[in-house]
Amino acid sequence: MPLNHIIIIMKNKLLYIFAGIMAALPVVAQTDAIQVGNDGKSWNITTRSSVYRLIVNSAGNVQTVCYGDRLLAETTGGAMGDEIPVRGGYVSATPMLEVVFPDGVRDVELEYKTSEITAIDGYPVLKTVQRDKYYPLEIASFIRVLPEYDMIEKWVEVVNTGKKGAIRIENLLSGSVFLPKDVYELTHYSGVWGHEFTPQTTKLTQGTKTLQVKDFKSYGSSSFMVRPEGENDKYRGKVWFGSLIYSGNWRIDFEKFFNGNVQIAGGMNFWDQEINLKPGQTVTAPRMLFGYTGQGAEGVAMSLVSYTREKLLPAPHRDRTRPVLYNSWYATTFNVNEEHQLALAKVAKEIGVEMFVIDDGWFKGRVNDKAGLGDWTVDKNKFPDGLKPMIEKINETGLDFGIWIEPEMVNPNSDLYRAHPDWVFHFPNRQRHEGRNQLILNLAREDVYQYLYQYFHNLLKENNIKFIKWDMNKAMTDPGFPSAPADEQRAVRIKYVENLYRLVETLRKEFPEVWFENCSSGGGRIDLAMMSRFDFNWVSDNTDPVERIFIQDAYLSLFPANTMISWVTQEDWHRMNPSLEYKFDVCMAGVLGVGYDITKWNDQQKRIATEKIAQYKKIRETVQKGDVFRIVSPFEENRSVIQYVDKSKRKAVIFVYNMAEYPANASDETQRTPLVKLRGLSPDAHYRIENIDGSYSGRYLMEIGIALPLRGAFASRIFVVNTE
Ligand code: GLA
């Protein structure tokens, strides 16, 4: 007989009480995240706004009854689908598990085995174990509840409990949820180099819409929102949302059934992938976040962003104020040398920069992108005395020093490749597809892992490096590992990602002081798994300020501002000659950096930069750590308004960017009220806005709104709001 459980959460501490074989449970408090039914075989999982209900039916199948508004807890309707849909029997949903048993049988038949409630980092986890009715396969599904973020994390673990024969796993997703019958719209983020995170909205009609990555390049995101059609108020309305916490190939399916229900299932992409699970082995799928809020798109952003900032980002640096950066890439490309770097650092210090980062070009043979990757020793032609003396001189000016690396790659024109041509992914008799003249090192190999670990361990040990920019510029091709056993060949991508995480984690543990920036030709690998291992992201190689306003608006709807590095550069994709002030204001919406050849700046440019950096330092606590409200979206109007409110609600910063200007009353936009309704303030507190007359209650500013005067195309302004 199963045990009944009561779970009580008090001050983030989990008290787990086995109630034994009791006939009835005491009434469980509303705040409890996992409530177990009297039969011990039904669960209501609740967050602030949502309920997820699971049952074991009389046939022993674990099924999902509902997911949505908390009031659904009163629903008495039947199940919508299996908690873990499999390939087997009637295939009525997108399967999460598809296997082949050693005797060739390809159908799975699951039945409930056990369940337990545990906790991970203070958050309750429901684990339900099912097993195949005949074959030695067990699958545990986990649901970790994050009540204040209105989210649950889902993942599964599969075990081969047999004594002989491998089970071939042809598909294993992380989690699935079912939405009730309705007409739905999906919003997701697509992208390509230079145009990261472009929002797309589409109606879900009968069939399956798949979002996926097959080449390790993800300029969009696995994050999504699903809303009933027409419910697109920014601040209200039902939204189901989610994101996969994984950096390899991923896939999310949105299947709309004829009866109107929708299933969302996601996880690793098993396209050209399989795992042969030997007796005793376990495989764990990455975690997938699912959320539900009644507060529209803003509710989604609040949940995802707060969770990432407060729980996912690497703990030691999570709350540290991010430094103002200088990065040499746009100033020098590969043409770096000690004298020029020192000259750049001198001006960087004068204008207020705190961290000086040398980008690509510093290592042996790296005169252009055709050679050098893999040979991580300093280029003596450019730095005759090595890096050390330069770093010391830069440190003497009071700046910290950072450096660019691209560990996962090799140029065929390198000593490493000449010595180990078998260390890259490749297939015999097939072309090795280069991208930017480089190939991908097979990080699934232990010798490759050890080589990279040793090199970067030494680099960090021997030099006073405080910041690593970790790049990855080529898409995955030719994923062959000819010397691996045949039954492991199609699991290489999984092993690669495991070793990538291991490498970053090991280095971070050994060098806890060092900041890590994640880059992949701009934002080609920004996801929640990287977010949990890196402090920030290089969001895009597109540094044109207007283009950037769009990319940043979308980025800030998914990720925290303190992870968004933006540099002021000379890029001008639309030939508008935007002012230096405008460029700074755009980059000040996250972690500010400068990327010009500042040795060529005149006094006026230096003065503007000095003033802007000083202004940034005054507001950066609010920008980096506050809540972000995207009040006017550049995707909807010809301007963008973003507001940051610090946690105490005593201070806010508002950025206003114009992208065009039309004659008065010439368009709907110019006929609309100029009043902007602020968000996130205390209704009863009184606020003053710098450079605007008067004192206003939070309620007034949020319900009536305030004009934020700004004239001219490509003009910008920052308003600072303080309580009286
Ligand atoms: C990638 C990055 C750039 C820069 C170059 C260096 O393109 O996105 O920021 O570091 O590599 O080669």
13-22 per-position pLDDT tens digit: 222 222 222 2
50 Cβ inside 6 Å of ligand 1: no
521 Cβ inside 6 Å of ligand 1: yes
Asked if the model's pLDDT at residue 12 lies above 80, the reply is no
27 & 148 share domain = yes
269 Cβ inside 6 Å of ligand 1: no
How distant is the alpha carbon of residue 441 from its chain centre?
24
Asked if the model's pLDDT at residue 31 lies above 80, the reply is no
176 & 286 share domain = yes
According to the model, what pLDDT value does residue 227 have? 98
544 Cβ inside 6 Å of ligand 1: no
Share of the chain above pLDDT 70, in %: 96
42 & 96 share domain = yes
| Shortest-distance Cα residue to atom 12 of ligand 1 | 360
300 & 401 share domain = no
Asked if the model's pLDDT at residue 1 lies above 80, the reply is no
279 & 365 share domain = no
According to the model, what pLDDT value does residue 76 have? 77
389 & 494 share domain = yes
pLDDT per residue over 620-679, tens digit each? 999 999 999 999 999 999 999 999 999 999 999 999 999 998 888 998 888 999 999 999
Residue among 519, 536, 533, 441 at smallest CA distance from 219: 519
538 Cβ inside 6 Å of ligand 1: yes
Structural domain including 652 reads 639-723
Asked if the model's pLDDT at residue 86 lies above 50, the reply is yes
pLDDT per residue over 162-205, tens digit each? 999 999 999 999 999 999 999 999 999 999 999 999 999 999 99
249 & 343 share domain = no
428 in a domain, yes or no? yes
Instruction: Please enumerate in sequence order all residues whose Cβ is within 8 A of that of 10, keeping only pairs 6 or more positions apart, or say none.
Output: none
139 & 259 share domain = yes
pLDDT per residue over 595-626, tens digit each? 999 999 999 999 999 999 999 999 999 999 99
d(CA 439, ligand 1 centre) in Å: 16
471 Cβ inside 6 Å of ligand 1: yes
- Tokens representing residue 320 in the block: 């540290």
According to the model, what pLDDT value does residue 667 have? 86
91 & 184 share domain = yes
473 Cβ inside 6 Å of ligand 1: yes
360 in a domain, yes or no? yes
According to the model, what pLDDT value does residue 321 have? 98
Ligand 1 pocket test target in 193, 329, 330, 571 with most atoms within 8 Å of CB: 329
66 bridge partner residues: 53
361 & 288 share domain = no
596 in a domain, yes or no? no
How many angstroms separate the CA atoms of 292 and 323, rounded? 35
Total domain count, the chain: 3
pLDDT band at residue 506, thresholds of 50, 70 and 90?
very high
236 in a domain, yes or no? yes
Please tell me whether the overall predicted TM-score, pTM, comes out greater than 0.85 for this model.
yes
Q: For the residues of 528-574, what is the DSSP string, one character each?
A: HHHHTT-SEEE--S---HHHHHHHHHHHHTTS-GGGEEEEE-S--TT
252 in a domain, yes or no? yes
Annotated active-site positions, please? 471, 541
565 in a domain, yes or no? no
519 Cβ inside 6 Å of ligand 1: yes
pLDDT per residue over 690-715, tens digit each? 999 999 999 999 999 999 999 999 99
| Shortest-distance Cα residue to atom 8 of ligand 1 | 521
pLDDT per residue over 96-142, tens digit each? 999 999 999 999 999 999 999 999 999 999 999 999 999 999 999 99
Q: Which atom in ligand 1 lies closest to the alpha carbon of residue 404?
A: 10
According to the model, what pLDDT value does residue 75 have? 79
Distant-in-sequence contacts of 86-89, Cβ < 8 A, 24+ apart: 86/110, 87/171
Angle ∠(216,408,354) on CA atoms, nearest 5:
100
How many angstroms separate the CA atoms of 114 and 5, rounded? 12
For residues 389-422, b (16+ Cβ closer than 10 Å) or e, as one string? ebbebbeeeebbbbbbbbbbbbbbbbebbeebee
Phi-psi domain of 672 (left: phi exceeds 0; alpha: psi -120 through 50; beta: other): beta
d(CA 472, ligand 1 centre) in Å: 9
246 in a domain, yes or no? yes
d(CA 541, ligand 1 centre) in Å: 7
| Shortest-distance Cα residue to atom 1 of ligand 1 | 521
Ligand 1 pocket test target in 325, 333, 334, 360 with most atoms within 8 Å of CB: 360
Ligand 1 pocket test target in 195, 196, 219, 359 with most atoms within 8 Å of CB: 359
**Contact indicator for 466, 513 with CB cutoff of 8 Å:** yes
How many angstroms separate the CA atoms of 150 and 67, rounded? 12
**Three-class secondary structure of residue 622 per DSSP:** helix
| Shortest-distance Cα residue to atom 7 of ligand 1 | 521
Region 379-397 average pLDDT? 96
CATH number for the domain that contains residue 178:
2.70.98.60
d(CA 522, ligand 1 centre) in Å: 7
pLDDT band at residue 459, thresholds of 50, 70 and 90?
very high
pLDDT per residue over 312-330, tens digit each? 999 999 999 999 999 999 9
329 Cβ inside 6 Å of ligand 1: yes
416 & 520 share domain = yes
360 Cβ inside 6 Å of ligand 1: yes
Asked if the model's pLDDT at residue 214 lies above 70, the reply is yes
d(CA 470, ligand 1 centre) in Å: 10
According to the model, what pLDDT value does residue 22 have? 28
268 & 356 share domain = no
d(CA 676, ligand 1 centre) in Å: 38
Ligand 1 pocket test target in 332, 363, 406, 541 with most atoms within 8 Å of CB: 541
CATH number for the domain that contains residue 345:
3.20.20.70
587 in a domain, yes or no? no
541 Cβ inside 6 Å of ligand 1: yes
- Tokens representing residue 458 in the block: 């030494």
359 Cβ inside 6 Å of ligand 1: yes
Of 259, 282, 312, the one marking the end of a domain is 312
pLDDT band at residue 687, thresholds of 50, 70 and 90?
very high
Measured in degrees and rounded to the nearest 5, phi and psi for residue 657 equal -120, 125
CATH number for the domain that contains residue 653:
2.60.40.1180
Measured in degrees and rounded to the nearest 5, phi and psi for residue 631 equal -80, -45
Of 497, 515, 541, the one marking the end of a domain is 541
Of 482, 516, 541, the one marking the end of a domain is 541
